[in-house]
Structure formats: structure tokens, C-alpha cells
A = this chain, B = another copy of it.
């Protein structure tokens, strides 16, 4: 059957599929929404026996490489190559069909051409196989025909009560049981790091990096088209997997981000997750979307999701491994203050820049530390932070200096730099290791001159870099993660004065005759007011005279606005007349606006800081709260933040303080401070509104005026759509 196997061309390093939009991860998962045991992933990741269907004698075929990897990794159970045209493959007796295997087979790895896969899967079901890894390409990544094939495949998998990784994947590894069912050309040593990759090539690159850096692998899963087993399933499985202490992700899309958020938020408390997500740029998203319809999630949503669930996000696979080296070998820092210790000045200054870039603080050392260092290092050294022991520093100087620096209460972590001109790098690293013993603070080393002293290694796994920048970045990410773990998540407070029945009635009424509607301004205001969101009084006027009466009632000056939701959502600037100071002006304005539809009267809003509060939907993410600076200029400057829901009191507090222009709210340059508590309450109310009204497709409070008198929405756009 090697002829068949050879036909697996063109070979594709498994990549996210060009998805048929109807086939999105998560949809088919309802039957498996059980406890992790019920996920059945153990049949895939920890099987007792493995059959390789499509084992090949052709050395270039994937079915050959798979078999060699299976054999070489030291799997304890039986391995059954299946090949109808060979007595044996790579010296192992082969079977013509899985039906001919006398023993039971728990996992089948399938590497036959796509067209042959469904029949093979049927045979597997008959033989009681429980787990499948389909490496074969030719499914939805190749278009409509492949997508139909994938649907048929999934149908049979489900009927057979099996779980499936793939198709179009690189395979899986589980070092605890010596399982390497991949065709990767490299295998890291065993360890506690688990890797999940949506791209086969990136998966291999990560395995390669781990092998190079001596990082130990627990499990590896290339999820391919993830027709069945999703990243979320795997995260839940690894939560209870003692062999996994840290999870690395490469993702281009999120099938069910809300579930991801729930799972990840819990998992990271015991097992850190470090992630690279491709498609940060619009062009990158287009590139990713060209092979997965689910991928085109704008980066603001991904950023909010990962930051708020405690996932450590980095930009490149290199950074992923750099952070992992620190996480797996060092304790978490108690704060963000870094001490820099080295034997040269220039690298020290560059390290300071890099630490600041990474969000760390390069603070003053304590006075007694400085005094001791001066005594130890003599008059030519710099004993402030960064400490420059100068080039004559010996290994002993490193040990003593670092011990003192780590004992300083003003130091949460240390970055040690060595330029090996006088003292060999290995001696210095050994000295640093002695200094670190017993210190409960993370330490990383940047040993420069890799051409002079290549591959400086630390037997105690102290992370050694060849320049300060990646070391600083890794420390910074780890410190931010530690801060996230320490952070009080807050509570979603009970809010008073919420008339959810009125809101529900308003929504039902609006959607009575249409499934998709933009509310008129007065009804939009009424909706948000039902949730206690302060919005400026907005009264509909049926005639010019009525408008004048309303104006008198509200108090001059007033504003008249065209109120039609149908018009408002299409115009950049609502048709409006400002600063109307008497009844005549109101009547004239009414006459001008009335032809376009209903007209509302509002009092003029007082002065204050202009803000935007809104809800946006990003595909499967559900509603995201947006909070930003208002006004034309700041819109261009995109000073805004996104937050996943629900929103806690702490979230609201941080949002209000997190804008670059937030100082405006706190008495900037002599201006009176705004009522920030009211603004936080407004955000919380909008958050609850979004959670309770699933028909809320879009919401835009723009501007919200924050002032010492409170926070009030002046304009409200509401888009309702029946789900």
C-alpha cells in the first residue's frame, strides 16, 4: 500500500483550513460538554496501542516518517503498521488492514489519501478504535469539496463514538508514554511543557526551539482543521494532566472565545499559558482569513481576551520560548522592580531601555546595598542601578554583588549581564547560580559574545540569553503575569434602579415588525435609562410649538436633533441645531429638521471631558465594551480600550484610569476632577445591559460628558437585531 501512501501529495504542513463558514469549531461539541474524563481525549493522547494506517516504505513519505518517529520515541504499547502491500515496514510486521490486527487498537493514526479516509474511519469504528489522528490533507483547507468530505468524516467519527485530532495536521506527541505520532523532524526532551499549534510549521518551529534550548516537552498537538477536538477541549484536558505545567499556544483564530475565556482564566492560576496569535495587523488578518474564515477577528478583541484571561501574549515564537524559559525555571516576581548587574556600562544602558520597554521599573537600590557594593567593588564601579562592576569583575564579584542585590527589598528580580573579556562566561554563570540559591526572586542572564563563548549553559537552568533585550522582555511578561495573578478580579456588583422589564418590553416592541432595527434617539435613550445609564433628557416634539414648550420645560439653551434611528446610524454627524436660546430659535430649528423625520429636544450638555462608551461585536467573541477618549482628534489617535464582559468593579476602575488621556478626568492642569465613580457606574450599567439584552447588536454613547456633576450620555445609538 506504499503506492497509496505516496499519493499523499501535495504534502502540506498542516495549516488552519480555508473554512466553510458553517463549519466552525465549537458547534459540534455539544455532546462532549461533560467533565474532562468525558472528553475522551485520553484515547487520543494516552492510548495503550497505536495503529498507523498508511505506513509506508518510501523514505520520503509522511507514512514512513510517522512510523520512524513512533518507533524511535520509545512507546511502551504495541505499534501496528497497516499497509496492504508490504509484509513489514521499517522492519516491523505490517497488517493489510486494521481488521487484521488481532489485538485491540485504541488510537489510529491515519495517513492515507483524503478520499480513502472515510472508509478507513469506518473500519476503525468497527474495530473499536477510540481515538483518531488524521494527518491526511485534502479536507476543508482545499475548498468546498474538501469541506463536504470533512463533514462526512466528522459524521462517521461521531457515529463511531471516537474523538478526532485533525484532519490536515502534523500529529501529536506525549512524551510521558513515549508517543510521537508526528512527522516532525525534531523531538524535544521529555518535560512539563505542552504545545498546541494551529499551524504545523509553527509547531515544528516551536519543537525545534525547545530542542535547541533543552526545554522539556510534555504533550504536543497540531490541531489542524480541528473538525472535532478543539483548543478548548485540549485546555480542559490539560488542566487535569499532571504532566503539564505550562501550555504554549500558537493560534490564528478562536472558535469559541467565550469558552476559551472561561477555561483559560481558571487554568492559568495553576498552569501559565503563553500564546502567539498571528494576524495582529490588518494585512496579517487578511492573510490568515484567506485560509480560515474564523480567523478574521480584529486584534483589539484578541488582545482584550488574552489580557483579561491572564494569558501571557507575545509577538513571536522566539519570545514564546524566552518567556517559557523564565517561567519554567524561576519563581514569579513579587513586583516590577528590576536590578541590572553587569561588568560593562553600554550593555547596562541598553538593558535599562529594554526593561522600560518591557514595562519594568529600574529603581534605586537601597542605601545599605549601595554602601556594601561600594566597599566590595571599589571606587571605579557604579553601584546604583544599573550596577557596573567594570570589566575586571571576577566570578566572585558577580556572586557577592548579586547576593547583596537580591537581598535588597527594593528589588523584585535581576537581569545579570556579562561581557566575557576577562572572566570566562561559564565561571560567571556558575557564580550567578551560587548567588541565586535560596533567593526567591527570578534571575536571568545575558551573556554577550556568543562567538567567543558559544552556548553558555546553566546546569541549573538559569535562563541564559545572548543579549539583554529578550531577557528583559521575558522578565517583563512574567512580571505582568504575576501582577495579574495577584490582582483582585473584583465583583460584578448588584446595580440598583435597573428596570429590566421596561427594557425588555422596549426591545420586544422595537423588534415586533422587524428583525433588525436602529432605535430612534428618544427610544435609545429610554433603553439605556432603563438600566440606569445617565443619558440627557430627550423629548420628542410633534410640532414646532410643542418643541418650544418642551424647551421651556427643559430650560434654555436647548438642542434640537433629528431623531430617526434609520437616519442617525447612516450619518457621521446627527442633524442637529445647537445652543437654541429662545422659543423662536427652537421653532425655526424645528422647521428645518422636521422634514427628515421625528425631532427631539434636549437641554444643552454642560462642559466636561468627552468620552466614548460603546459595545461592539467581534464575530464569536460576543459583545466587547469599548471605552475611549471622545472628540475628532482623539478618535484619530485611537485612545481607547476594549473589555470582555461581564465587567467587574475592578475592571471599570481600571478602564477609567487606563486611557493615555485619563489624567483629564482627575483634575488635569487645574481643571476640576470629574465624578469618576459615576463614570465607573455608567460602564458597569452598560456592561449589564449588554449581558442581559442579547438583541443588542451595537451601542454607541458618543459623547459621554464626564464632569464634576457626573457622567451623562448626550447621544445614544442602538442597533437591535433578533439573534
Chain A residues packing against B (C-beta within 8 Å): 9-13, 15-16, 60, 137, 141-142, 183-186, 197-202, 204-205, 208-209, 211-212, 250, 252, 276, 278-284, 287-288, 290-291, 315-318, 343-350, 352-357, 361-362, 378-382, 384-386, 388, 390-392, 419-422, 448-452, 467, 469, 572-573, 609, 629, 631-634, 636-637, 639, 660-661, 663-664, 668-671
Contacts and interface: CB of A to CB of B under 8 A. Distances in A.
A253 to B, nearest CB: 11
Contacts of A449: 185-186, 204-205, 208
B390 A451 contact: no
6 contacts: A10-B380, A279-B353, A287-B385, A315-B469, A636-B660, A636-B663
Contact of A278 (B141, B349, B452): B349
B15 A573 contact: no
Most buried by B among A212, A283, A318, A633: A633
- Give the most central of A346, A392, A420, A634: most B CB within 10 Å: A346
A59 to B, nearest CB: 11
A209 B467 CA distance: 11
Contacts of A343: 13, 201
B451 A142 contact: no
Point out which of A12, A629, A632 has the most chain B C-beta atoms below 10 A from its C-beta.
Answer: A12
Contacts of A10: 378, 380-381, 390-392
A418 to B, nearest CB: 10
A643 B276 CA distance: 37
A47 to B, nearest CB: 25
Given A185-B452, A201-B419, A356 B281 contact: yes
Contacts of A448: 201, 204-205, 208
A669 B632 contact: yes
A467 B315 CA distance: 12
Nearest to A450: B212
Nearest to A17: B345
Contacts of A252: 346, 349
A346 B391 contact: no
Contact of A669 (B209, B316, B421, B572): B572
Contacts of A384: 290
A198 B318 CA distance: 30
B352 A13 contact: no
> Chain B CB within 10 Å — which of A205, A661, A663 has the most?
A205
B392 A212 contact: no
The winner among A13, A354, A452 for most chain B CB atoms within 10 A is A13
Contact of A199 (B16, B280, B347): B347
A463 B219 CA distance: 34
Interface-central residue, A201, A452, A469, by most chain B CB under 10 Å: A201
Contact of A211 (B197, B380, B451): B451
